[in-house]
């Protein structure tokens, strides 16, 4: 009798997806680093930290990212990483400095950097540790210039600094543009309710094999797109994250090295990113093939599958449901006193907001300008009009059709205070029509 096995590629198991990660703040960074990195043939000294204290913490119960415990560094507040994923744009601005090395990597100015640096002396020829990179910039900014940046920089006397955060088997650094639902997707886990721009096709491989006199046919489906889900499935705030990856390097035993773990916002302070490093995974060892944690225990971690064995012929039937929904985006742009020009930071904020609009249908766009009470009513009316007009010009430059702009209104002064900063503003309201395709798949036996 011929048997049929349907094998469906999964990202992570259901039990892992729904576990609740726990994050705690730390009082002493030195104690946190020594606890997580010391031992395993390594001696840790001279721990340094630069950034806001709320940008570093310890996580536990990290089954959602396939790591039980470790440290987290964030461009925002680490506590905002707690699940479930309730919004697609969490931003915990720290208003701290960036980092020159990261700015050079990102080819733009960085901000809100969180940096841990320490010295160590390895006892063996190789070092390695496990990590996960996560970001709120998934999936909206895949393929854009807005990519937060991180690095694990290894250095020593007489050695050129080397970034260890690389895509497996390549020399390419990990970034949102390089590991996502389109590129290197075997290392990516989607956690966004926002549909991605391009549907990844289902690829099926059919193979036959015989065992104990029974013939089997295996249909293996690859790249079944996780973004088809109606809502995020993983109990963590970030919209997307990598699978557990390994940073590793060849070193000289008994020589002093410095490791810098750094992450920063690129270009602006909007949308948090974070990096998780697994407790106990920092090891010095003799073999370049050394693995730790899930990478050791699950040889098929990057190609996990469940197999269903059936007696009859089976097919996967796909049906698509199409419907239309409407939603409104609202935002406020603030201005300096007596100014109407858009600053570079404001332009970046608007560009972030408008980046997906060409792929959607804008039904209506309204722009309302305001001023504080400083100056005459006539002057304030004109200033609020100039502010609203500047916003109108910029959104038109971003590809928005002028036909959808329903009103550009100058309200003049609002409130009685002459120095009320929150009244120097333009309010933007965008109503959008979106066509949603829901893909339904079911196993049918006949």
pLDDT reading at 275 higher than 90: yes
- Whether residue 258 lies inside any domain: the answer is yes
Residues 346 and 275 in one domain: no
Domain harbouring 61, CATH code: 2.60.120.260
How far apart (Å, rounded) are the C-alpha atoms in residues 136 and 93? 13
Q: Specify the pLDDT at position 250.
A: 96
Q: Specify the pLDDT at position 210.
A: 54
Residues 249 and 339 in one domain: no
- Whether residue 444 lies inside any domain: the answer is no
Q: Specify the pLDDT at position 310.
A: 32
Residues 299 and 336 in one domain: no
Residues 282 and 182 in one domain: yes
Residues 226 and 355 in one domain: no
Give the count of beta carbons closer than 10 Å to the beta carbon of residue 330: 10
Last residue of a domain, one of 308, 338, 364: 308
Q: Specify the pLDDT at position 311.
A: 37
Instruction: Tell me what percent of the residues of the chain surpass a pLDDT of 90.
Output: 44
- Whether residue 395 lies inside any domain: the answer is yes
Number of domains in the chain: 2
Instruction: Tell me what percent of the residues of the chain surpass a pLDDT of 70.
Output: 77
Last residue of a domain, one of 255, 287, 308: 308
Residues 240 and 264 in one domain: yes
DSSP summary character for residue 173? B
Residues 248 and 329 in one domain: no
Nearest to 75 by CA among 59, 89, 48, 54: 54
pLDDT reading at 425 higher than 50: yes
Q: Specify the pLDDT at position 356.
A: 62
Nearest to 72 by CA among 298, 366, 333, 274: 274
pLDDT reading at 121 higher than 50: yes
Residues 67 and 44 in one domain: yes
Which is higher by pLDDT, 334 or 417? 334
How far apart (Å, rounded) are the C-alpha atoms in residues 187 and 253? 31
- Whether residue 446 lies inside any domain: the answer is no
Domain harbouring 430, CATH code: 3.30.1330.60
Residues 61 and 120 in one domain: yes
pLDDT reading at 418 higher than 80: no
**Residue 63: pLDDT band by 50, 70, 90 thresholds?**
confident
**Residue 230: pLDDT band by 50, 70, 90 thresholds?**
very low
Residues 82 and 179 in one domain: yes
- Whether residue 315 lies inside any domain: the answer is no
The whole model's pTM is what?
A: 0.62
**Residue 38: pLDDT band by 50, 70, 90 thresholds?**
confident
> Residue 426 sits in which domain range?
321-438
pLDDT digits over 43-60, tens only?
A: 899 999 999 999 999 999
pLDDT digits over 328-349, tens only?
A: 888 899 888 889 999 888 888 8
- Whether residue 314 lies inside any domain: the answer is no
Last residue of a domain, one of 285, 308, 331: 308
- As a whole number, mean pLDDT of residues 401-428 equals 82
Q: Specify the pLDDT at position 213.
A: 53
Residues 238 and 378 in one domain: no
Residues 292 and 362 in one domain: no
- As a whole number, mean pLDDT of residues 159-165 equals 96
- Whether residue 316 lies inside any domain: the answer is no
- Whether residue 345 lies inside any domain: the answer is yes
- When mean pLDDT is compared across 23-27, 115-119, 309-313, 407-411, the lowest value belongs to 309-313
């Amino acid at each position: 009798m011929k048997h049929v096995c349907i094998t469906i590629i999964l990202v992570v198991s259901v039990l892992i997806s729904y576990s609740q990660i726990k994050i705690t703040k730390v009082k002493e960074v030195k104690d946190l680093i020594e606890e997580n990195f010391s031992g395993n043939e390594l001696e840790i000294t001279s721990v340094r930290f630069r950034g806001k204290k709320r940008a570093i913490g310890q996580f536990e119960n990290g089954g959602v990212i396939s790591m039980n415990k470790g440290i987290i560094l964030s461009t925002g507040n680490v506590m905002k990483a707690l699940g479930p994923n309730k919004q697609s744009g969490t931003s915990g601005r720290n208003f701290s400095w960036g980092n020159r090395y990261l700015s050079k990597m990102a080819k733009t100015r960085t901000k809100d950097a969180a940096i841990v640096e320490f010295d160590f002396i390895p006892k063996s020829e190789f070092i390695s540790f496990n990590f996960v990179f996560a970001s709120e910039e998934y999936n909206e900014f895949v393929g854009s210039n807005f990519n937060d940046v991180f690095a694990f920089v290894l250095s020593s006397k007489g050695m050129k600094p080397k970034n260890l955060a690389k895509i497996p088997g390549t020399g390419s650094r990990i970034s949102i543009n390089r590991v996502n639902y389109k590129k290197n997707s075997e290392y990516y886990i989607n956690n966004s309710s926002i549909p991605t721009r391009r549907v990844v096709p289902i690829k099926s491989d059919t193979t036959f094999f015989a065992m104990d006199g029974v013939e089997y046919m295996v249909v293996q489906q690859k790249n079944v797109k996780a973004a088809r889900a109606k809502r995020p499935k993983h109990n963590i705030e970030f919209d997307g994250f990598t699978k557990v990856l390994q940073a590793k390097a060849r070193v000289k035993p008994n020589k002093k090295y410095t490791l810098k773990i750094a992450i920063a916002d690129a270009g602006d302070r909007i949308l948090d990113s974070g990096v998780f490093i697994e407790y106990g995974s920092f090891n010095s060892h003799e073999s370049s093939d050394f693995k730790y944690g899930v990478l050791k225990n699950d040889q098929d971690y990057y190609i996990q599958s469940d197999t269903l064995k059936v007696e009859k012929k089976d097919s996967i039937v796909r049906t698509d449901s199409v419907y239309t929904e409407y939603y409104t985006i609202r935002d406020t742009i603030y201005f300096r006193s007596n100014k109407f020009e858009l600053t570079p930071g404001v332009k970046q904020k608007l560009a972030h907001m408008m980046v997906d609009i060409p792929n959607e249908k804008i039904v209506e766009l309204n722009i309302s300008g305001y001023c504080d009470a400083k100056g005459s009513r006539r002057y304030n009316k004109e200033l609020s009009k100039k502010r609203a007009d500047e916003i109108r010009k910029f959104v038109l430059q971003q590809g928005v059709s002028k036909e959808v702009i329903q009103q550009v209104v100058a309200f003049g002064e609002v409130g009685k205070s002459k120095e009320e900063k929150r009244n120097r503003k333009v309010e933007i309201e965008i109503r959008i029509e979106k066509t949603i395709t829901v893909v339904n798949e079911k196993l049918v036996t006949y």
